[in-house]
Structure 1
Amino acid sequence: MPAEQIRVRGLVQGVGFRPTVWRIASQLGLQGDVSNDGEGVLVRLWADRHAIGRFCEQLQAECPPLARIDFIQRQPFVDAAPAQPGFQIIASQSGGVHTGIVPDAATCHACREEIFDPANRRYRYPFTNCTHCGPRLSIIERIPYDRANTSMRLFPMCPVCEAEYLDPADRRFHAQPNACPVCGPQLWLEDRAGEQIELTAEERDSIDSASRLLRQGQILAIKGIGGVHLACDAANPAAVARLRQRKRRPAKPFALMARDATVIRRYCRLSREELDLLQSPAAPILLLDQQGETLPEALAPGQASLGFMLPYTPLHQLLLADWEHPLVMTSGNLSEEPQCVGNHETRRRLGEIADAYLLHDRPIVNRVDDSVARLVAGRPRLLRRARGYAPGHLALPPGFEQAPDLLALGGELKSTLCLLKDGQAILTQHLGDLENYPTFQAYQQTLALYRQLYQHHPTRLVVDSHPGYRSHRFGRELAQQQGLPLERVQHHHAHIASVMAERGWPLDGGRVLGICLDGSGYGEDGTIWGGELLLVDYRSCQRLGHLQTTALPGGSKAIQEPWRNAFAQLQRCFGWSQVERQWGGLEAICALQQRPVAVLLAMVEQGLNSPLSSSCGRLFDAVAALLGICADGIDYEGQAAVELETAAMAAVERLPEPYPFGFNREESGLVLDPTPMWRALMQDLADGVCSEQIAYAFHLGLASALVRAVRQLAEVHGIQTVALSGGVFQNRSLFEAIAESLRKQGLRLLSHEAVPSNDGGLALGQAVIAAARQIK
């Protein structure tokens, strides 16, 4: 009989793909079998080519909801006949790993109905799942994705669950986390002393008890799918304040979880596109504009948006079922530390924060934080890529088919890792800031896990060119230990390359004009860059222009204390003596005069611990400080800029004149000089213009200046495509102003959606740059 072997690659394991193959083949009356292996799914069919063609078409059309087919390859093979009549699902095969791991997915509608149905055997069972939802990355230990290779191997299935698991017609066929109250993981509620909390007469289970404690104003540590959350009643100001104090998180916003869209709409605007994103299998935290009823300001101080998510596990859905307002659902950690995942770790590290613990006995193998997104210019854009998205691989652009296997180690903040393998990029979940040593330990553990999962053997390592980054030092040591070449990539080149790769810009697509705006990156001239206009392809990067460089008095202290940047900007533009003569009576200048001005002047003039920087982030800090926003210090990265944007969005008069910037031609390129902007801003301060108007005029002026610069440079260099990247582009107001103006100029725009514009996307850019340099 004629026969074909069909190779399917993509996200095709643990998503109900083999049952779909079985159903379609059975409907078409085909003979053969299907199995998982290290490369994905292997289908063998004994039939004529036309029948197999119909099978492939139907498979593409009826792909399961969590699956993604990257390609289908058909190849004839010779075999006398199938071993058994009909179509069979056979055991997984081992071999080299060339397939992907599916991200954790929010509870599907069918499972949700079961947990709220008193007649169903999974009624109120918090670990209900099927092939269309539930844990994936968070429980996997190795590929192929079979139960024996996950933390669910600790829970042998009961006969009823096993029957579901073995039935190809059941939606739980080979659902590796399949379980029920009889055989699966168990949940309990305990107090700080480790004693189990008894149910009251009205309570059905520990979830009811947990809800009662939350209503009483207590703080709970709740173990979820990829880590532990700290939860409290979001409408209880005292509980929120207590959580902030105990968690040592003075100002950074708390994430909120609401029962449904009706609850969210009481507090925020919610468009159809935003609701679709909230209800997607990824179920991220979504930043939404506030309107309607108010919640305690302490949830998101100084911000016009709230971060909401919907319950994405049965546990959360059961907990929120009776709540008419949201719960705080923030990472279970002390500020800046990694999120807790284990029970013992949770008791030890959160003992001074949580009043009680809602725990379970299913081990979390891989820590996965909640993803964060925002709708900007009508498109969803990730600010943190983690649960629901990672480690879904990214196809590399045309020309990278022969890319060597590489490992890129990312940056210092918002770190991720990127593995290149089989022409694809595997970007890890968000790992955090490596300045924190426990985060660095988790970073190393994640690297070991991914290399083991994907059987990844890189031919070279790639690091940021900043020699002081922990990721750089670690990469250098690792390269020496393993005898691998080490590639160094400039920070802002990596930023622009990451958006090029995400948007499918071909290897031979030519150069683009990149606008890269962020806090800091190691520049090729020894200064700190951060407001850059770059001519970029994958192999090279030329600096065409930048924001005027300004000293950072105190070095890293200038990042933490925005007033230092305000002083440095005014000193550079006007000289401090002129500032005092002309504006000495202003409250903002009086406040600066209380600082150690003489010391700072000496530091700047002598170049002592005052590196030069073109950072756009520090320019935002300086403007914010003069408006009395976070002048003394910040509690989290970007706080001053975030609150400055909030002020701009609150401006009543929306059509002020944008503040002007000067343009100078220097050896380093076109320089955007903020001196005219500062003169106009200081005059407005003197005239009593409100801070919201000033903030808005600054945003508008910076956007206008950058667009003007791009127009000039694009014309000179014959460029039609502009790429935007860097953490400053998380600012929706600035992004939308620039993007709209560039499109009106007829320029093509490349911007991030699936990969963060902040340093969470650096590793992808590093990887494609290093790969391009190796491809001849």
Structure 2
Amino acid sequence: MNQLRRLKIIIQGAVQGVGFRPFIYRLATELNLKGWVNNSASGVFIEVEGTKKNLEIFLTRIPQEKPSISSINTVETTWLDPVNYTTFEIRHSSSGEKTAVVLPDLSTCSDCLQEIFDPNNRRYLYPFTNCTNCGPRYTIIEELPYDRPHTTMKVFMMCECCQEEYENPLDRRFHAQPNACPVCGPRLQLWNKKGDTLANDNNALNLSINALKDGKILALKGLGGFQLVVDGRHTEAVTQLRQRKHRPHKPFALMYASLEAIKNDCEVNGLEETILTSPQAPIVLLKRKKSQSLSPEIAPNNPYLGVMLPSTPLHHLLLYKLDFPIVATSGNLASEPICIDEQEALQRLENIADLFLVHNRPILRPVDDSVVRVMGEKEMVIRRARGYAPFPIQINDNLLRNNKKKDQSIPNILAVGGHLKNTVAIIKNNQVFISQHIGDLSTPEALKSFNQVMESLKTLYDFDPEIIVCDAHPDYVSSQYAKAQNLPLITVQHHHAHILSCLGDNNLNLPILGVAWDGTGYGNDQTIWGGEFLLVTGNQYERVAYFRPFKLPGGEQAVKDPRRIALSLLSEVSQELYYKELPFLETISTKELNLVKQMLSRNLNTPLTSSVGRLFDGVAAMIGICQNVTFEGQGAMALEYAINDLETDASYPYEIEDSLYPLVIDWELMIHSIIEDILGKISHQKIAAKFHNTLVDIIINIAQRSQEKNIILTGGCFQNKYLTERAILGLTQEKFTPFWHHNVPPNDGGLALGQIVAGIHRKK
């Protein structure tokens, strides 16, 4: 007779709210093992008793057969003497240190989808159907462990049928915390602008569908907040949405009913299809096809479309009865956070939406749609929110070992991010929990959201910060917040944080050469950096090279009016005669031209910058494809898209000054040559391609001079597909190893992770 053994197992990772305990129950029962499993605030605890052979099989099969949407970070095992358990049971959750991973909100699974379209199912056409494989998580959880009383669903008392599913370990709704049905769960209502109820439930949905067909703008309460929805073919309706939302040019996202419908309008490769149909269901940037019935106002002068599939039963039901894709954009005014409450939406969206499709399931925290682009044949998250946040980033064990003494734990570090595309982050053990995208901290509403998200993250993980990390820019709202907290403070140079963010994203070791290009970052010399090559060795870095600085006439005004940057570049190359010959100058009045000339000649309000992002803006204005900017990155996007499908290796000349660090990359010869090409009637397409190719040549040149083989590409400029993929190819051909972002955005949305890594390095 085989001797009984007992095994204690602690599993940490994304193992709550994913059907992990019923999976353990079924596996243990199959192997004739006795004991128990429960959730705790730090993970899943198991005690299981049986023969050693069966216990070893049990351990082997857990990672092999675990629920597909779960992930395991650590498995701790301890062999113990048996206590003669007689059954295997699922016990109630226990408390403890809060380190369990809160799963992001997940799109509707195929089983639930089948149910809502089955006339014989009790959840037929029910827009809040979910199970342990899908549905809300992060948007409804109040605290750990993840149990219904700790979610916003606690206000809904389950009916007998739902309760029976919830308590049955063999049911896929066993402990599905948002479990509900038409009898006991959330309900739909359609409101007018005054908040009067026009219809309920399925009638509300049908009236909303009719309104969209009539060209109306619908404010829809989704999973993580409100979306503004309109017919994607209806140019007048889309234009009206732009006017009301104060968003004149920035592309809108589209939602399609099916993958086949997306393929009718866009080119979709295998990886893009996988991302579109994943449980995260993000917006994916796809190359559009020429034959389309879509309104040109969705993405003006843009060869790409941001598209997604329905992520909730409500969206599926809405799209099912429509024969066209819908614009589905954030329910907010420009630069404000999205609305999550019905009454708030009535106030803030009353001048945008015609109707409000609402429900009574409370949303605890705002979560926008995530945005993804395939870059270098890998996924790159551009905006990290629904489906991704707050899933943690694991910090490299080597980095942790190199930066702490034996048995010394990492302190509780809070990172508050930057000013644009703000996110915040905390670290517990070796897991960095990054918040969802918050946005630009330029409005009172955004600042309020910043504080709420931060407090929510701290509450969720029972987190009391011991160190706070911020950007070195003294005027950032996030930096001012950090300085007011009466905690040990670490400030991190903007581009250093970008590089450390990519380091953490790729689990790399130092040293490394970071290429950090963006629009704005506060430099150590109090100028505006943005075209940086930094050799990073830990909490130290050396500025290896940077772009020759140029003036921004009017400061922030030059960012909004890139023609001023073009004039600044012209003045630097001392070509006065060009002021009469270049076509873009026809758009500038004599008065404004003289004003900018005076500012430049007298150095009046002309801060210096080394920014590659601003160089993009200046060149885009100079060749006449972007005269004014209404959203961040507009000039750079126009220049990237101008290339279209042109294939050329041609580039422009440039010089590198000095033989000692930091090297100065002089762009004067490049600007001369661009001017000659403009006057020579060379196409925008070829000028744009040559400009990009020159930037890649510069990256390779500096990499060769640095002799560092591992090269990081980071900052907002590397959201540019042509630039990034050509740099990856060129560096690889020259025997360098390039790294770029995947799970964390290359833009300022990734700064918080870099600040956390800096905090680990610099902690006392």
Query: Is 1:194–2:195 an aligned residue pair?
Result: yes
Q: Specify the alignment match of 1:290 in structure 2.
A: 288
User: Which digits, 9 at most, give the CA deviation of each residue in 1:713-754, with x for residues without a partner?
Assistant: 22xxxx110011000000101111111000001111111001
Aligned: 1:617 with 2:618: no
Question: Is the Cα–Cα contact under 8 Å of residues 368 and 385 in structure 2 kept in the other structure?
Answer: yes
Deviation at 1:273, TM superposition (A): 1.3
1:378 deviates by 1.0
Alignment of 1:467-486 (within 5 A): 467-478=474-485, 480=486, 484-486=487-489
Q: Is the 8 A contact 2:546 2:664 kept in 1?
A: yes
TM-superposed CA distance for 1:48, in Å, is 3.9
Contact 2:335 2:442 in 1 (8 A): no
**Distance (whole Å) between structure 2 residues aligned to residue 336 and residue 582 of structure 1:** 37
Q: Which residue of 1 aligns with 2:414?
A: 407
Give secondary structure in 2 for the equivalent of 1:722. Answer: strand
TM-score, scaled relative to structure 2? 0.96
Structure 2 equivalent of residue 218 of structure 1: 216
SS at match of 2:53: helix
Aligned to 1:388: 387
Q: CA deviation at 1:410?
A: 0.5
SS at match of 2:445: helix
- Matched with 1:698 is 691
1:437-482 CA-to-partner distances (Å, cap 9, x unmatched) read 211110101111111100112221001111011100000001x2xx
Q: Which residue of 2 aligns with 1:445?
A: 452
Matched to 1:690, the amino acid is: S
Q: Deviation of residue 329 (structure 1)?
A: 0.4
Alignment match, 1:604: 600
- Which position in structure 1 is the counterpart of 2:341? 342
Residue matched to 2:76: 73
**Aligned residue in 2 for 1:660:** 653
Trace 1:74-223 onto structure 2 (pairs within 5 A): 74-78=77-81, 80-82=83-85, 85-198=86-199, 205-223=203-221
Secondary structure of the residue aligned to 1:298 is coil
Is the CA contact 1:462–1:487 (under 8 Å) kept in the aligned structure 2? yes
How much does 1:622 deviate? 0.3
- Structure 1 CA distance, aligned partners of 2:58 and 2:562? 62
How far apart, in 2, do the equivalents of 1:415 and 1:533 lie? 24
Answer whether contact 1:266 1:292 (CA < 8 A) is retained.
Answer: no
Secondary structure at 2:265 match in 1: coil
Amino acid at match of 2:277: Q
Residue 376 of structure 1 deviates from its aligned partner by 1.4
Structure 1 pair 469–182 and aligned structure 2 pair: CA distance change class (3 A): same
The separation in 1 between residues aligned to 2:439 and 2:378, in whole angstroms, is 25
Q: Tell me the distance in 2 between the aligned counterparts of 1:593 and 1:562.
A: 15
Quote the offset at 1:79 in angstroms.
6.1
Structure 1 equivalent of residue 545 of structure 2: 545
User: What's the counterpart of residue 643 of structure 2?
Assistant: 648
Q: Give the corresponding residue for 1:725.
A: 714
Give the whole-Å Cα distance in 2 for the aligned partners of 1:732 and 1:561.
24
Q: Does the Cα contact within 8 Å between 1:166 and 1:174 map onto a contact in 2? A: yes
Is the aligned partner of 1:635 residue 2:636? no
The one-letter code matched in structure 2 to 1:69 is I
Larger mean Cα displacement after TM superposition, 337-346 or 72-81: 72-81
Matched-pair contact (CA < 8 Å) for 2:253–2:307: yes
Counterpart in the other structure of 1:584: 580
For residues 120 and 454 of structure 1, the distance between their equivalents in structure 2, rounded to whole angstroms, comes to 38
Deviations 1:83-105 (A, max 9, x none): xx221000001122111100000
Matched AA of 1:536: V
Whole-angstrom distance in 2 between the partners of 1:672 and 1:423:
39
Q: Report the 3-state secondary structure (helix = DSSP H, G, I; strand = E; otherwise coil) of the residue aligned with 1:144.
A: coil
Q: Does 1:307 align with 2:296?
A: no
Matched with 2:363 is 364
Q: CA contact under 8 A between 1:648 and 1:699: conserved in structure 2?
A: no
How far the C-alpha of 1:136 sits from its partner, in A, is 0.2
1:268 maps to 2:266: yes
Counterpart among 754, 757, 760 of residue 768 in structure 1: 757
Contact 1:538 1:768 in 2 (8 A): no
The 5 Å alignment of 1:659-698 reads 659-665=652-658, 669-698=662-691
Equivalents in 1 of 2:352, 2:504: separation in Å?
42
Distance 2:426 2:545 in 1: 32
- Deviation for aligned residue 1:667: 6.7
Other structure's SS at 2:60 match: helix
Q: Residues 677-698 of structure 1: CA distance to partner in whole angstroms, max 9, x if unpaired?
A: 1111111111111222211211
Cα distance in 1 between the residues matched to 2:243 and 2:589: 32
State the AA in 1 paired with 2:429.
D
Paired residues for 1:411-560 under 5 Å: 411-478=418-485, 480=486, 484-505=487-508, 509-560=509-560
Tell me how far apart the structure 2 counterparts of residues 546 and 568 of structure 1 sit (CA, whole Å). 18
Answer whether contact 1:567 1:592 (CA < 8 A) is retained: no
**AA of the residue aligned to 2:47:** R
Segment drifting more, 614-623 vs 67-76 = 67-76
Write the deviation string for residues 482-527 of structure 1: whole angstroms up to 9, x where unpaired.
xx2000111111100111111111xxx3311111100011111121
Q: Which amino acid aligns with 2:341?
A: G
Alignment match, 1:570 = 570
Between stretches 48-57 and 302-311, larger displacement belongs to 48-57
Q: Distance in 2 between matches of 1:101 and 1:594?
A: 59
Report the Cα distance in structure 2 between the residues aligned to 1:204 and 1:640, rounded to whole angstroms.
45
Offset from partner CA, 1:401-424 (integer Å, 9 cap, x none): 643220111000001111011111
Secondary structure at 1:407's aligned position in 2?
A: strand
Q: 2:240 corresponds to which letter in structure 1?
A: R
SS in structure 2 at match of 1:266: helix
Equivalent in the alignment of 1:8: 11
The percentage of counterpart residues that share the same residue type is 40
2:404 is aligned to none
Question: Could you say which residue in structure 2 is the equivalent of 1:235?
Answer: 233
C-alpha separation in 2, matches of 1:50 and 1:598: 86
RMSD: 1.6
What is the alpha-carbon distance in structure 1 between the residues aligned to residue 208 and residue 588 of structure 2? 49
Supply the distance in 2 between the matched residues of 1:564 and 1:264 (Cα, whole angstroms): 40
Amino acid of the residue matched to residue 752 of structure 2? A
Give the residue type in structure 1 aligned to 2:132.
Answer: T
The 8 Å contact of residues 35 and 41 in structure 1, kept in 2 or not, is answered as yes
Decide whether the 8 Å contact of 1:251 with 1:300 is kept in 2: yes
For residues 616 and 180 of structure 2, the distance between their equivalents in structure 1, rounded to whole angstroms, comes to 52
2:229–2:329 Cα contact (<8 Å) kept: yes
What 5-or-longer segments of structure 1 have no aligned partner?
A: none
| Distance (whole Å) between structure 2 residues aligned to residue 51 and residue 739 of structure 1 | 49
Partners of 1:37 and 1:546 in 2: CA distance: 50
Find the residue that maps to 2:198 and give its secondary structure. Answer: coil
Deviation at 1:320, TM superposition (A): 0.2
Q: Answer yes or no: is the 8 Å Cα contact 2:441–2:477 preserved in 1.
A: yes
Instruction: Tell me how far 1:343 sits from its aligned partner.
Output: 0.7
In the TM superposition, what is the alpha-carbon distance from 1:432 to its structure 2 partner? 0.4
List per-residue Cα deviations over 1:118-175 (Å, max 9, x = no partner).
0000000000000000000000111111000000000010000000000000000000
CA offsets, 1:593-615, max 9 Å, x none? Answer: 63534433343344332111100
Q: Within 2, Cα distance between the matches of 1:537 and 1:758?
A: 22
**Relative to structure 1, is the Cα distance of residues 692 and 38 closer, same or farther in structure 2, using a 3 angstrom cutoff?**
same
Task: Find the aligned partners of 2:121 and 2:331 in 1 and give their Cα distance.
Answer: 33
Return 359-368 or 203-212, whichever deviates more: 203-212
Q: 1:594 and 1:656, CA in 2 relative to 1: closer, same or farther beyond 3 A?
A: farther
3-state SS of paired residue (1:375): strand
